[in-house]
């Protein structure tokens, strides 16, 4: 295991690690700090699995406020209005593609003495 993070991760996961490699990795202060972070992360995960309160908080929990009933009703009305407006717009657009409705009908009839030529 040449990557220092992999060595430390294997140590935390209780996988076999060569002692000489571990000694070389732990000589650097940054790697020792990384090992401490791995231990804290593992502790936090184990506490979450057990349902215990966290002793280590990286950031305060985000509380989501549930929208009130009237906000939902307003949102539903707005969405309904947008849907109706969109439908009206589509109808107007579609009506441009059709020919206009006739207002009067003109029928042509051949005159009585006319002959058809081919």
- pLDDT, averaged in runs of 10, over the chain (118 residues): 76 86 88 87 81 54 66 91 91 73 84 70
In this prediction, residue 1 carries a pLDDT of 41
Is 82 within 8 Å of 52 (Cβ atoms)? Answer: no
Q: Is residue 19 part of a domain?
A: yes
**Do residues 39 and 75 share a domain?**
no
In this prediction, residue 36 carries a pLDDT of 87
In this prediction, residue 14 carries a pLDDT of 83
Residue 37 to residues 1, 12, 42, 108, Cα–Cα distance (Å): 20, 11, 9, 94
Q: Is residue 33 part of a domain?
A: yes
Q: Is residue 25 part of a domain?
A: yes
User: Based on the structure, what is the number of domains in the chain?
Assistant: 2
Is 117 within 8 Å of 110 (Cβ atoms)? Answer: no
Range(s) of the domain holding residue 86:
66-96
Q: Is residue 38 part of a domain?
A: yes
**Do residues 79 and 43 share a domain?**
no
Burial class (CB in 10 A: 0-12, 13-18, 19+), 1: middle
The verdict on pTM exceeding 0.75 is: no
In this prediction, residue 3 carries a pLDDT of 82
**Do residues 43 and 71 share a domain?**
no
In this prediction, residue 67 carries a pLDDT of 63
């Amino acid at each position: 295991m040449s990557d220092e993070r992999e060595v430390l991760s294997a140590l935390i996961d209780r996988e076999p690690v060569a002692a000489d490699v571990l000694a070389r990795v732990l000589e650097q202060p940054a790697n020792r700090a990384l090992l401490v972070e791995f231990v804290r992360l593992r502790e936090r995960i184990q506490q979450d699995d057990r349902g215990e309160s966290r002793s280590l908080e990286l950031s305060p929990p985000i509380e989501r406020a549930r929208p009130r009933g009237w906000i939902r009703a307003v949102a539903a009305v707005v969405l309904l209005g947008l849907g109706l407006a969109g439908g009206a717009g589509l109808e107007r657009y579609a009506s441009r593609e059709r020919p206009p409705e006739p207002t009067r009908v003109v029928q042509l009839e051949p005159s009585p003495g006319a002959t058809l030529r081919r």
